[in-house]
Structure 1
């Protein structure tokens, strides 16, 4: 089931006029990415939406790479972590659901969250994109984990989240009005003798619940991490 919000085209007029700031520029850039995707974002197009000369934007972003990092930082501002929570498992569950919510609200930004960090050394990334990592490390070290174990848990959690989100964003129904699950998903196009298992799971695939699937995955992941790290401590 496609649970993503309807990202209808947004009017850029609210960004015209007024004082230009980095925050205002990034908000407009995020709207453009939400509407048209990352590939369509350009400094020239952004300047047009803001009613500015393209050169004026370089005061707030050195280049497009810097602009993309800023967009990622903008959406990750909503990923808050309570590093003082005494229940680290419950807090990581909360973080996971917040991260999923961000991804579903801004599906075109997901490549920036999943692959963009590969292009930028850790110390050179925007500070806001590092805040969730710092806060989760603080949460886990307060819970008694070593720094190395805390980092292992963080990597395992976000490795799982990235895989889950990419899977969920692929769960698109081909014919929403069709009542037959095989036809709704377009699985009738697959030869039965070649893909019997996939076709046989049509009803399960059609009833996909992203939130429930995330919970099941977190149950397995966090239980395993708790057992492994408790044994090692």
Structure 2
């Protein structure tokens, strides 16, 4: 027996929910970028009157916040893990993976908080902050220091992600040729270091670069925590 087709004219439509609306919004952003997201366009994608979507998001800004929440909700942070460095390393790679999966959302994750006062941000975008602060305070950082660590950590992480997305090209072999040609044209006496680094610059490994940066950052934070503990015990 053939299954009923619910997509034709006059057939019953799938009941909407906020999750369904936001999932379609994310799908649209992934395919066409943030500029494509509007109530009208989203209504077309869902086969609904755009006015009906306002019960799930009061305006486009709320849609953008919802998309950010949807992506950030996929992060897993164990604030009770005593190995805080391992947690931060895992989280960094998870966020990198999400960024590579949803590159069009990255500008939203980076810039949206800057344009929204902390007290007005949706709860889903604040949970990673709360969880990381809990993780760091449990590790021994003072609350104010934990906030500084969070800012440094995310500053590094978003900087790395933006740099890696910039490095991404459709044809890496062509990119390497252009890179070597560009470096070869640099005056040797003025740019000896860059010219010598041509092989390393051409072979960019995002995951390895992230690990290198995390090692530097986390080692410095661990040393800071040790000095703080030594002062407290003196």
- Over aligned residues, Cα RMSD in angstroms? 2.0
Residue in structure 1 matched with residue 143 of structure 2 by the alignment: 147
Q: Deviations over 1:41-90 (max 9, x none)?
A: 11110000000101111111111111001000000011110011011111
CA shift for structure 1 position 17: 2.9
Distance 1:84 1:175 in 2: 43
Correspondence for 2:89 among 93, 98, 113: 93
Structure 2: 5+ residue stretches without partners: 1-6, 230-234
Q: Judging by fraction of residues, say which structure has more helix.
A: 2
* Kept in 1: contact 2:99–2:105 (CA 8 A): yes
Larger radius of gyration: 2
| Matches for 1:204-223 after TM superposition, within 5 Å | 204-223=200-219
1:192 aligns with 2:186: yes
Residue in structure 2 matched with residue 108 of structure 1 by the alignment: 104
TM-score by length of 2: 0.85
CA shift for structure 1 position 211: 0.5
Correspondence for 1:157 among 153, 162, 182: 153
CA shift for structure 1 position 226: 1.3
Check 1:83–1:144 CA distance in 2 against 1; reply closer, same or farther (3 A cut).
Answer: same
* Kept in 1: contact 2:140–2:225 (CA 8 A): no
Aligned-partner SS, 2:167? coil
Distance 1:44 1:27 in 2: 16
CA shift for structure 1 position 33: 0.5
Aligned-partner SS, 1:170? helix
Structure 1: 5+ residue stretches without partners: 1-12
Check 1:192–1:41 CA distance in 2 against 1; reply closer, same or farther (3 A cut).
Answer: same
> Stretches of 4+ moved more than 6 A in 1?
none
CA shift for structure 1 position 146: 1.3
Q: How many residues align?
A: 216
Correspondence for 2:68 among 59, 69, 72: 72
